A and B are shown apart, each in its own frame.
Chain A
Amino acid sequence: MEYFLQQLINGLTLGSIYGLIAIGYTMVYGIIGMINFAHGDVFMVGSVVAFIVILGLGITGGSGAFLIILALALVVIIAMLIASVYNWTIERVAYRPLRGSFRLAPLISAIGMSIVLQEFVRIAQEGRPKPIQPIILGKHELLHRHADSGEFVVTISNMQILIILSTVALMAIFTMIIQRTSLGRAQRATEQDQKMASLLGINVDRTISITFILGAALAAFAGTMFFLYYNVTDFFIGFLAGIKAFTAAVLGGIGSIPGAMLGGMVIGLIEVMWSAYFSVEYKDVAAFTILVIVLIFMPQGLLGKPEVEKV
């Protein structure tokens, strides 16, 4: 039971990260109906930028708590800004000119973009993984039990608390933006019908750009948290994380933002539980299997609307 509880905490942490990335997939898919294949790599860019800034600022676990908080806020803001610039540029350069091209064109372009981002970072920063010493230290014991078969301790680290809480906060802010602001209204309108939205005076191009920027900012936040959680990053983390987050987006129902978060949690939990109870080697295979099963048997996902193909 304690073991399960511990895995539950780990799974929720990982799931938060996947969920944040998944929102970017789901929003872009909802609005222009394409998989932004390079989104996972934008996540990677965010985490690499965070790494560089942390190294540049020279913060370590030994710095004072106040200093760490201040520095990390700066790190997160810079990572989000840079990743947004990347995603905005990608949309302008690689996707916008292809609207109205044939069906596979944006996807192929996105695959190309994903390779470009990976290789760009690999060449500029070398391919080796980038480790740092843990910055956010400390953990709390939630449960401590002495049993005949040994001691059981359930802990939650400060980092895990930070990830879960900040994800909840970001989700709240984000939901507010989508539900309450004129920007969110424009975004929802564009998602429903681009032509009609533009007739009603919504700048569709601008709305799509902002969608990419928001998605990138969330992915960069997730990238920073991923880096702080695992204390290592490299140019290739975007590939697997991207596929898993996409799985989360599909599982939750593509186009649905709460669905993406839910899907992320489910994927994170399944991955952690699979590693804990079955085999670590096959955890990625498990994630891929879920992807395949979901796409084949319930492509509308948990919270999505069934898609009707119009002729």
Chain B
Amino acid sequence: MSAPVKDTGTHSEQSAFSWFDIAKDLVGTAILTALILTPIVTYKTTMNQGVLFIENRWVQSLLLTAAVVIGRLLLHVFVWHKPPSMAAAKPVSTKAPLSDSLAKYVAPTLLILAIGLPFLLHLFPSWDKRGIDFAITILIYIMLGWGLNIVVGLAGLLDLGYVAFYAVGAYAYALLSTIYLPLWFGAGALPWAFYIVLPIAGLLAASWGVILGFPVLRLRGDYLAIVTLAFGEMIRLVLINWFSFTNGPQGINVPKPTFFGLPFKDEPGGFAAFFGIEHDRIYSYIFLYYVILILALITYFATNRLRRLPIGRAWEALREDEVACRSLGINTTTTKLTAFAIGAMFGGFAGCFFAARQGFVSPESFVYLESAMILAIVVLGGLGSQIGIVFSAIVIMGAFELFREFGAMGRGIHDGLLWILPDSVVSGIGSIFTGTFGALYGLLPDAMQISIAGATTGMDPIQFRMLAVGLAMVLMMRFRPRGLVTRRQPTVFLKERKSVSGDMVAEGHG
């Protein structure tokens, strides 16, 4: 909960550098931060054998408050009131980090990397299965991000219930492949279930998109967001409570997809036996990876094409100004509905794939936080930017994985160093690090040492992931509302191509 509290508007001009004002402001910040932290951080309540205890963690609160105050002091000194010597320095560049010439090569490079990834990961045998699995997860989120981007980024309709369509796709696969396909076509259809259901899942999700989109046509931005959120939650609650149909919270086990009828199993007639190679689970991972890569690429290229069709232009016009759009004769009803339906369809594809890959679906996977996460990916990528979504999905999901792998990462660095440098040097570096930190740690008072030790042992870094996502959303809206990597280009040009940096324009001037 650290954030500058005072209105930056008054500070953006070069105001006088007065230590008194700064000190006053810092005291205010300290009091405010202490008030915010005192009840909730300082007094931790823990349940021990049915009895609640209060644990006093004043050290953590003190450290956090100190961090906020010092951060604010630094902001004061270096950002808000630059000393005259620094004021002459170059202003911070507001340009997007990718220059135009570079941007041209980003997409092809990413594509080649994505296609070659399994082979690349093959070089690290201890990592290949987990690496590919991780890549599949990222690709699912990229695809969901691209799907939601059609609704939020292009058409400007804030959809907080996107996960509902993901759920429709997943449950379509689960129910059709376990109950209805065997019922209608016999057990022989089972190996082909994924291929049969995939288009059906997309269609079902698209029709749900229309069904849910139809009533909300008249609503404006924020009401629409709340209604879609309500729809998303309703679908989840129905999935939980309609026990006879969905098996409720226990979920459904579903068959894994096959390689065009060949299951990835160590048996005659399996994938490995058919091609005469040794059975290895990695083949199923690689297959799934390419399936989701193809699905994601379809999403990408379809969206790219659609953007250049009249319907895509109508979406973007709708985002900028609905009233103007209507007065120019654009049918806003069909425009909104197609955006909903097409966005939902890709969500349905992704859901179908998700169910097939997990081999299990339950309503737990389709909570509101999942919608918020997909939205965060789209927002952080820059509303409307497709490449931006790739980066933000990699950063968000990758950061999560890094959070999880903090320990493993330290070991990895250690091993990597060992590979390059001789043993004694590495252990020397290690002892320098631990020595320095140990010495610093020793300087602190005893009570603090105990508190820090207590605080750091129980804390799993992955705990902080959603907190980081939420903070990132707020900070993005405040500092770079058009995304980190985006450089929005108008898709229609008059006479010549001009690029407009997303940060430079207000709504309606892109």
Contact = CB atoms under 8 A, between A and B. Distances in A.
Interface stretch (A112-120, A137-145, A192-200, A223-231): A112-120
Interface string A54-65: 011000000000
Interface residues of A, number: 67
A244 to B, nearest CB: 10
Contact of B467 (A116, A125, A284, A309): A116
A288 B233 CA distance: 8
B7 A97 contact: yes
B241 A289 contact: no
A282 interface: yes
B222 A34 contact: yes
Contact of A311 (B40, B219, B323, B474): B323
A87 to B, nearest CB: 11
A55 B51 CA distance: 11
A35 to B, nearest CB: 5
Contacts of B27: none
Contacts of B6: 92
Given A109-B477, A299-B223, A52 B229 contact: no
Contact of B470 (A97, A116, A243): A116
Contact of B54 (A52, A81, A96): A52
Nearest to A281: B241
Interface string A34-73: 1100000000010011011101100000000000000000
Give the dominant DSSP class at B's interface: helix
A104 B219 contact: no
Contacts of A126: 44-47
B156 interface: yes
B45 A125 contact: yes
A3 interface: no
Interface in B219-256: 219-223, 225-227, 229-231, 233-234, 237-238, 240-241
A108 B7 contact: no
A106 B44 CA distance: 32
B160 A92 contact: no
A147 interface: no
A112 B219 contact: no
Interface string B18-57: 0000000000000010011011110111110000101000
Interface string A82-110: 10011001001110111011111111110
B473 interface: yes
A169 B480 CA distance: 45
Contact of A92 (B5, B383, B466): B5
A109 B473 contact: yes
A126 to B, nearest CB: 7
Contact of A120 (B4, B40, B223, B369): B40
A89 B32 CA distance: 8
B375 interface: yes
A121 B463 CA distance: 12
> Which 4 A-B residue pairings sit nearest by Cβ, starting from the closest?
A112-B473, A115-B470, A102-B507, A116-B470
Given A103-B507, A104-B158, 20 more contacts: A49-B39, A52-B39, A78-B39, A92-B7, A94-B478, A104-B156, A107-B158, A111-B160, A113-B474, A116-B471, A118-B470, A119-B466, A123-B467, A126-B45, A130-B52, A243-B229, A281-B241, A288-B233, A291-B230, A296-B216
